[in-house]
A and B are shown apart, each in its own frame.
Chain A
């Protein structure tokens, strides 16, 4: 109904305007063409000047009103080391173009008014003026040269790639419809290789886990952290369509292109809480964050750095937000040390793990550490249960007493432990699962215990300290109720 009323009103106004137009045309015919021209020029000349004044005043008033959006001013300062230079370029350009803008508008509308049509006025015949034209070719050329030189200086500094000897961290941002996946290198400080063909439900980035550098890479949860004062190189990629890695507070923006990694380097210089404290000084940030809760948190208290997408990527383009927290190095380290390797927590040992048959260096080190702790505990403890160690990583070929190649790591740990505690004597117990004939299982478990003992004696452990014994299928590590559990064949 309102739509109909609005439509009718518009129609009515149009008709009224057309009628006014018709009437003025008729009166113009009565008044005569020259009279009309004089009136027109007078009124519209005045309107020109009025428009010019209102427009220019409006420009300054609105600029004052929105001064807190001006680059590098008030709450709108850059949070990165390079941003200030860009803001300065903006403001230099603003001043220079502002002068031209004001002068040109005054001249344009003032001349139109001043030289409005009047009976008997003769227009001056000025076809050109070489001197003037030379001046207004030269002056813009000089101004442009200044802007170009300063601008390119800033540009080439900001866009320069890192020097490999520099101290920086490299993280990776991958855009996809419609979110960002951020990847941190692990303790090795290096991001591992990717191959888009490996992308799967459990490997969104298509990380190539045959590359040892991927093993410690971290994909953190919703919030991402950066340490203040540390140079960051963001490697920017996309999986599906173009995206753009945009951090407005840091003056950072770069397209994410499928198949062509790009980068942007910046150094955060203000932590999130620094920035909040700056915003605190401004009225608009002291308004309630949520209008529905007038007494709740204020805007500055809830301020966060935001990561956005600035290249149209589909219908969810406007929703690709991530929160970035800039914190002190200590806070960053604390957060970073809590992050777990994506590979080790999500992929290791699963079907898609290409390293299933291998023991990784980091696992070897990890197990050796755990093993020596357990041995120490077993030696010091008086509890029988504690004195039994399960050698989980020693395995045999099915139906045979031949040790698998990967068993050597655990056995070597055992050698190290026996050498570290020369006084201890151990029983080496062999087990099997309950498939097959119990008698054969008994024989097999004894043979398996013997092969372990052989391995140890070959490495210089005295035979007297070792008592091999086969338990057959009588003491399984896991209940013999499934194939899965049967695969667990510990020797202790």
Chain B
């Protein structure tokens, strides 16, 4: 049955009928075999909106697990004398209870927690949970597509991620514990089961989990790129794409180019572990036994790892940058400042991210001469980053800024990105890195710039697009408590770490009491731990708000509650499979015509007036 043309009720409907793209879409409500029961609708769905929500909720689960781990090791750091026996029901033998009944965290498990915290937050939350959610939700909706180029691959992408999570989760219950050699998994520690308990079965499961994760990431990434390049609606040329889509496109390209390198890196590590090869091993004596492995280099793994690892931090931060650009512009009621500069700086950051990896390795024994190149390229990244920051600030300038949870988190993102980005200028300069490398200064830097900042971008996105995802709003009051508590708390946690870092305190220390030079930070460490606990509970508040609002939040009554220009807000309040019931609206202009010619906003489907300039061009 052909689509029935009904009388247009609004300008939007009229324009969509006249100018939109008619792909003879057949809408199935009842007879859709793919959405006929609960299981196919909500679990094994191929609908990009469901897959996006699956990524988000799985990401939330992992964020809670990863954050809870950080609370346990923060307790050890802040209150090393405290009795942790009450954690025994949860952690079992990893809490050693002495004769006096005082429970202590096992150092081996401390390192396992640190390692899993990093792996989970970097990969499962800020890569899958962030990119997976917003790429899936926003790509088809904002470029005007019925779904992803391959909905099936898309669903596979989620299920491989799910499987990776299952494997990683199970590794927590091994008798030898999960992997404990740091999220960077440097060999020989990660290659030698004799060197550490965590490098036994825990490491094998870590590798299997990461391999599954890379598969997930590649399936998703190829799909995102294909969809963005091929399925844009009529008139949606590249310079009319919202910055979210630009950011996601570059993110996906970075992922597709760099994740295979990680996969090959960990596969070679697997060979070293199980097949007796020597890619990363040479002249090793462990447990008094001289191994028969010659000629490999541990530094090779670091190159392979950071060839992913550095783009990875941009894989994490770019989607947040895109989200923040969009959210700031919508709520400032003002175009994003310097749209093209924003796109070019994303491209520049994406390109540069591939030629700076060895700035993680200044102190790893690579030839100091090589470091010269990496210092130059690393500090060049400050230029496009600075452009982005100044453009965000300029977007707020002269605006009519609506304060709500989404826009406030966007502002918070910019603040975090400034604070954390500037400390990168210290660390990227190899001369300063001699002292700062592997100290708490580094911990402060990357947590602020890609941990907290990326989370803030994610929160901005969740508060902003929650109505699109669930047809309801999140509670604003709780959202604001969440924002103010988190920004204050996050700075309280990470700002003091700059000082301990300057004092030279190394990261990844189970205890700093052994060293007279490091141990004078008792109160500071207690303060950080208390702040971490408070921030953790504020995130629980967010989770409560999230799930409460799914079921009982304020209902969305209009299609476009934020007065936004982008196409996702032209879909019905509860969009079905295929997103638009009739024609797909076309893109007639760039997405940032806010406050133009006296209009509060001019959506993308509205054609240009006679002689009107399209600012994307």
Interface set of A (CB-CB < 8 Å, partner B): 3, 10, 14, 17-18, 20-22, 24-25, 28-29, 37, 40-41, 43-45, 47-48, 51, 55, 58-59, 62-63, 66, 69-71, 76, 83, 85-86, 89-90, 93-94, 96-97, 100-101, 104-105, 107-109, 111-112, 115-118, 121-129, 132-133, 136-137, 140-141, 144, 147-148, 151-152, 154-156, 158-160, 176-177, 196-197, 199, 201, 206, 239-242, 244, 246, 248-249, 251-255, 257-260, 262, 284, 299, 302-304, 306, 308-319, 321
Contact = CB atoms under 8 A, between A and B. Distances in A.
Nearest to B590: A127
A112 B396 CA distance: 6
Interface string B276-312: 0000011111101010001011110000000000000
Interface in B472-515: 475-478, 480-481, 484, 487-488, 491, 495-496, 499-500, 502-504, 506, 508-512, 514-515
Contacts of B476: 21, 24-25, 28, 40
A101 B423 CA distance: 10
B31 interface: no
Contact of B363 (A100, A125, A196, A255): A255
Contacts of B101: none
Contacts of A24: 476-477
Contacts, number: 375
A97 B398 contact: no
A251 B435 contact: yes
A111 B284 contact: no
B314 to A, nearest CB: 18
Given A41-B403, A136-B386, A316-B107, A241 B195 contact: yes
A246 B436 CA distance: 11
Given A101-B422, A123-B398, A155 B368 contact: yes
A199 B379 CA distance: 44
B396 A127 contact: no
Given A107-B393, A133-B338, 6 more contacts: A40-B476, A104-B418, A127-B339, A129-B338, A144-B380, A315-B197
A312 B508 contact: yes
A90 B435 contact: yes
A117 to B, nearest CB: 5
The 8 closest A-B pairs by CB, nearest first: A259-B282, A248-B504, A159-B368, A124-B398, A44-B403, A151-B429, A262-B365, A123-B595
A188 B205 CA distance: 51
A266 to B, nearest CB: 10
A257 B364 contact: yes
Nearest to B372: A152
B516 interface: yes
A378 to B, nearest CB: 48
B545 interface: yes
B332 interface: yes
Given A25-B477, A126-B335, A126-B398, A147 B379 contact: yes
B544 A18 contact: yes
Interface stretch (B20-28, B120-128, B182-190, B258-266): B182-190
B598 interface: yes
B267 interface: no
Contacts of B408: 44
A132 B394 contact: yes
| Size bin of chain B's contact surface | 35 or more
Q: Give the secondary structure class of A's interface.
A: helix
Contacts of B285: 176, 196, 199, 206, 239-240
25 contacts: A21-B477, A25-B477, A90-B426, A108-B396, A111-B393, A111-B396, A115-B332, A116-B403, A124-B595, A125-B596, A127-B338, A127-B339, A128-B338, A144-B379, A148-B429, A151-B430, A151-B431, A155-B430, A177-B195, A240-B188, A240-B284, A242-B188, A251-B434, A308-B518, A318-B510
A258 B298 contact: yes
B34 interface: no
Given A18-B548, A62-B495, A71 B502 contact: yes
Contacts of A199: 285, 288, 290
A304 B297 CA distance: 35
Contacts of A242: 186, 188-189, 298
Contacts of A45: 401, 403
Nearest to B601: A123
B91 to A, nearest CB: 14
A37 B506 contact: no
A255 B364 contact: yes
B517 interface: yes
A155 B431 contact: yes
B290 A206 contact: yes
Contacts of A311: 186, 438
A410 B406 CA distance: 92
A258 B281 contact: yes
Nearest to A101: B422
B425 A97 contact: yes
With a 10 A CB-CB cut-off, give which of B111, B195, B393, B431 has the most chain A CB atoms: B431
B306 to A, nearest CB: 14
Contacts of A86: 431-432, 434-435
Nearest to A100: B422
Contacts of B376: 148, 152
Contacts of A112: 396, 401, 403, 411
A104 B393 contact: yes
A240 B368 contact: no
Given A115-B399, A148-B376, A154 B502 contact: no
Nearest to B287: A240
Contacts of B545: 18, 21
B284 A124 contact: no
B419 interface: yes
A123 B400 contact: yes
A97 B187 CA distance: 36
A66 B524 CA distance: 11
A259 B431 CA distance: 26
B263 to A, nearest CB: 22
A197 B292 CA distance: 9
A196 B481 CA distance: 60
Contact of A25 (B181, B196, B475): B475
Given A125-B596, A259-B296, A241 B189 contact: yes
A260 B514 contact: no
B514 A319 contact: yes
B188 A241 contact: yes
Contacts of A251: 434-435
B74 interface: no
Contacts of A147: 379, 425, 429
Contacts of B299: 257, 260
Contacts of B438: 244, 246, 253, 310-311
B414 interface: yes
B478 A17 contact: yes
B334 interface: yes
Given A122-B598, A148-B376, A93 B429 contact: yes
A127 B491 contact: no
B383 interface: yes
Contacts of A59: 495
Nearest to A314: B196
Given A37-B402, A71-B502, A155-B371, A254 B365 contact: yes
A280 to B, nearest CB: 15
A308 B514 CA distance: 10
B594 A89 contact: no
B432 A93 contact: yes
B516 A101 contact: no
With a 10 A CB-CB cut-off, give which of B285, B290, B491, B544 has the most chain A CB atoms: B285
